[in-house]
Amino acid sequence: MENKLQERAKEAVRHFSLSQEPCTPCPWGSGHINDTFLVEGDSRYILQRMNGNIFAKPLEVMENIIGVTSFLKEKIRKAGGDEMRETMTVVYTRDRQPAYRDEYGDYWRMYYMIEDAVSYDQVETEQDFYESALAFGNFQQLLSDYPADTLHETIPGFHDTKARYEIFQNAVRQDVCGRAREVEKEISFYQERKETAEILGGLMAEGRLPLRVTHNDTKLNNIMMDKRTGKGICVIDLDTVMPGLAVHDFGDAIRFGASTGAEDEVDLSKISCDMHLFKLYTKGFLKGCRGSLTKMEQKMLPMGAKVMTYECGMRFLTDYLQGDTYFKIHRERQNLDRCRTQMKLVADMEAKWQEMEQIVHECQSLP
Ligand code: ADP
Ligand code: GN1
Ligand code: MG
């Protein structure tokens, strides 16, 4: 299967306008959604087969990405930055399309590779995490005047946690793989915290949290860190840039980056939410947003972290119950292991709740 996909990747490359015959694409990165390849030719490129099960309208995804990156490029140029490194650049096909549709109906797209930069699956140095917070805050700030009504909703209800809860409940009821009995404890964990799914959506509906243009998938490996300066140079994985909540972007980054272990760690004693990292990220994110968050958004930052961790764990469990059809897995029960780390994190955040609120309070008064 892997080789066949590589053959298809090779075929796809021929449809992009590269001046030199490229080498065979090689699998790249550790994303859970698209199939990513590195292509070496006249320069280095990232080739991706877009996940057609998840993105029903791939051309709308590309339209969003081209809109957002063009907008960012102009701002970067005006600020005297390097538009080829500080945002992504889409490579068009020979017939000037933003993606190539192959004979199976799959869409392939290509970007210039961000060179001399690295993405991390886990925090290696504290400074990196702080820099990623600055960069994600800045990303949101730069898009604050983007015309939100021109964006397509690439995954409807992506962070509608309440709707996700209903999908989870259906998966439990249907139990298509007969796995529900084995995960009763996990199912109860999510059911006992049902109200967690309603808090942020409720505040938004009441107009107490504003809709903004957000990234919606702010995990640490969706940012390229400059190898030389250590700065968060480029926010990538723009498939889910849509109107959303700032606290979701903050929270998803905490869920992944402030965890003391990997997302699929089997030894749960290694998993907790590191308060020192939480504080660093809070400082960096608030600074990157440059004062644009309302008082209510700031107050809800800990809730953003808890809700995103709750939601993501519930999505992993739903996928496990449905037979692992959404998130890529590399071993049996990997989605269940991922779900369990998220449960451990939620419980840990609940235990550290006052400390989290206190940290946000302290960071609010920083310059
Ligand atoms: P997924 O949606 O599957 O997570 P991503 O778009 O995040 O896919 O890409 C997967 C990985 O590929 C990233 O974590 C990053 O390491 C690498 N990557 C993606 N785009 C680029 C790029 N333009 N330059 C350098 N690396 C990239
Ligand atoms: C997916 O695409 P990737 O691997 O960066 C997922 C996120 C989850 C994350 C969990 C489009 O992110 O929502 O939080 O996995 N992206 C999509 O690791 O569903
Ligand atoms: Mg990614």
Segment 275-304, tens digit of pLDDT:
999 999 999 999 999 999 999 999 999 999
Report which residue type is found at 290. R
Question: How many percent of the chain have pLDDT more than 90?
Answer: 95
Would you state the pLDDT for residue 2? 60
Tell me the CA distances in angstroms from 355 to 104, 189, 196, 309, 310, one per residue in order.
52, 23, 19, 18, 19
Residue 338, ligand 2, Cβ within 6 A = no
What pLDDT score was predicted for residue 107?
A: 98
The amino acid at 77? R
Probe residue for ligand 1, chosen from 46, 113, 240 as the CB with the greatest number of ligand atoms within 8 Å: 46
Ligand nearest to the CA of 121: 1
> What is the mean pLDDT of the segment spanning 163-178?
98
What value does the CA radius of gyration of the chain take, rounded to a whole number of Å?
A: 20
Q: What is the mean pLDDT of residues 166-185?
A: 98
The confidence score (pLDDT) of residue 42 equals 83
Tens-digit pLDDT profile for residues 37-79: 999 988 999 999 999 999 999 999 999 999 999 999 999 999 9
Q: How far is the CA of 184 from the centre of ligand 3 (A)?
A: 30
* Residues 225, 276, 268: CA angle, nearest 5 degrees: 90
pLDDT category, 346, cuts 50, 70, 90?
very high
Place of tokens 């800990």: 302
- pLDDT above 60: residue 161: yes
Task: Band the pLDDT of 208: cuts 50, 70, 90.
Answer: very high
Q: What is the pLDDT of residue 19?
A: 77
* Average pLDDT of every residue of the chain: 96
State which ligand 2 atom lies nearest to the alpha carbon of 326. 19
Q: How far is CA 178 from the centre of its chain?
A: 30
Query: 49 φ, ψ to 5°?
Result: -85, 120
> Over the stretch 7-30, which tens digit does the pLDDT of each residue have?
999 999 999 988 777 788 999 999
pLDDT value at residue 3: 72
Tokens of 66: 């081209």
86 C-beta neighbours (distance < 10 Å), count = 24
pLDDT of residue 20: 77
